[in-house]
Amino acid sequence: MSLSRWISVLVLVISTVPVLMAQAPQLPPSQSGPASVATKPQPANPDFAQAQRLLQQGKYDEAISQLHQLASQNVKLPGVSRELGAAYYKKGDYQKAAEYLKPAIQEDPKDGEAVQLLGLSYYLGGHPTDAIPYLERVDTWLPRANVDASYILGICYIQTKDYPKARKAFARMFDVPPDSAASYLFTARMLLRQEFQPIAEEYAQKAVTLDPKLPLTHFLLGELYLFKSKIPEAITEFQKELSLNPGHAATYYKLADAYSRIQKFDDAERLLQRSIWLDATSTGPYILMGKVLDKKGETELAVRALQRALAMDPNNPVTHHLLGQAYRELGRNEDAERELKIGGQLQQRQDQKE
């Protein structure tokens, strides 16, 4: 066995030790609910104290019922519309939240909390155009929404295709000049997250033009080209990123992914080792290492890499599926069936959430 192969084995053996202590994987719990809302500050009006306590306990319907009862007893009770709007917001009923927050703003146009929650209700309800005028009015982001004003406003601008204003919002969020290379890079990343790939590429290219040495711009372009299966272009961009940013673990991982797609498995393995050496906390390189080693016919090493990934994230269906396939290749049919079954259950859970 060559020296490089011994090093490969040693890296995987050492990193796999925690697997021996790993618990059996658990199916993912259900989501905790709609967008969270901080419960402080408490309302000044003591009439709302009990409703607020119910909201803190997650008893949304009881809190809303009590607020409606207060409103019926005193139709002129100040702030009840705002409290109802906030309660519906916390429950996740954004249409109802907007219904009550609009009169709350009419009652007190300077109520910044009602303004921000109305904007968020429109945004979360899928109406970014309606959200923008209210979000633009919020100078200081109040705590009950538990989100960042510039981010949400920037996303609204993206969804309404007002990209220059989105760039200004993200520049404000990161405290960089709105026409800087960094502002284009940040906006390109947000555009990619929102699946606006053509505009994301345009903005990333603009960032490179403004500052060819800005870290992570070539990495982002590489990700875009990898997504488009433009493998030579992706490799070029990742190599440029490494020349500027040689300590970036994710670039080694993504470059390895590109090489694996053109079956350069030795190059992919070498790069994945570097990625893991730089950052042993990410599951992606271990999963890809498992795939690459399996393709090279080194199934036992592939199993070790996948076991390590599983110890880090027991709820990833892909890892269970790949591990099941590897076990089957080794003739460990009982282990294979177990992993494939768990992977199928986890995937079904994920599909049901989408």
* CATH code, domain carrying 345: 1.25.40.10
Position 321 in a domain = yes
Both tokens of residue 352?
């049901």
pTM, two decimal places = 0.77
Q: Which one of 83, 102, 134 terminates a domain?
A: 134
Domain assignment of residue 139, yes or no: no
Evaluate whether 328 touches 350 at the Cβ level (below 8 Å): no
Of 82, 108, 134, the one marking the end of a domain is: 134
State how many domains the chain has: 2
C-beta separation of 203 from 178 below 8 A: no
pLDDT of 140 reads 58
Q: Is residue 19 part of a domain?
A: no
What's the pLDDT at 13? 40
pLDDT confidence band for 6 (50 / 70 / 90): very low
pLDDT at 129 over 70: yes
pLDDT of residue 237: 98
Work out the pLDDT band at 16, boundaries 50, 70, 90: very low
Q: Is residue 223 situated within a structural domain?
A: no
Q: Is 346 part of any domain?
A: yes
The per-residue pLDDT of the chain, averaged, comes to: 86
Residue 292 is encoded by which pair of tokens?
Answer: 């690459």
**Which tokens go with 324?**
């099941």
pLDDT surpassing 90 at residue 197: yes
Out of 107, 134, 161, pick the residue that ends a domain: 134
Within-domain flag for 15: no
Q: Are 90 and 116 in contact (CB under 8 A)?
A: no
The whole-number pLDDT of residue 38 equals: 36
Q: How does DSSP assign 228-293, residue by residue?
A: TT-HHHHHHHHHHHHHH-TT-HHHHHHHHHHHHHTT-HHHHHHHHHHHHHH-TT-HHHHHHHHHHH
| 309, 283 contact by CB (below 8 A) | yes
**How far is Cα 295 from Cα 291, in angstroms, rounded to an integer?**
6
Question: What is the token pair recorded at 28?
Answer: 């993912």
* Residue 83: inside a domain: yes
224 or 9: which leads in pLDDT: 224
The residue range of the domain holding 301 is: 281-354
Task: Answer yes or no: is pLDDT of 113 > 50.
Answer: yes
